[in-house]
Amino acid sequence: MAEETIFSKIIRQEIPTELLFQDELVSAFRDISPRAKTHILIIPNKLIPTVNDITQEDELVMGRLFTVARKLAAQEGISDDGYRLIMNCNKHGGQEVYHIHMHLLGGEPLGPMLAI
């Protein structure tokens, strides 16, 4: 059984954080340490520690991350100029929180940014 991270507490609002979106599958909130004008994290409500742990059963929730990213990008007014979606995996990927999350970054030119 994987250990919960701070993100599970945010999903349950045990740590008060403004949720930009929440449904039965995913939640979204602003990154505490934004690396771009818009920096939002979109996460599954269910704890999946890394991309390596995604199974076929998770295909619906993984797809939902993208439809919510699209919706939030429109809400932020960054759809036309563009944005970047990033998911880090494990040490070499620079993953810090072991509850998978999609970074939605935009609002300015992002350049060749590799690490966030």
Residues lying near ligand 5GP in the complex (CB under 6 A): 6, 17, 29-33, 41, 88, 94-97
Q: Where are the beta strands (DSSP E) in 1-116?
A: 19-22, 26-30, 38-44, 83-86, 102-106
Q: How far is the CB of 98 from ligand 5GP (least distance, A)?
A: 8
Q: 39, 99, 101, 103: which one is catalytic?
A: 101
Q: How far is the CB of 64 from ligand 5GP (least distance, A)?
A: 19
3 or 80, CB closer to ligand 5GP?
3
Whether 101 is a known active-site residue: answer yes
Q: How far apart are CA 113 and CA 116, in angstroms?
A: 7
| Token duo for residue 24 | 């039965």
Q: How many CA atoms, within 13 angstroms, populate the side-chain half-sphere of residue 59? A: 2
Which residues are identified as catalytic?
A: 101
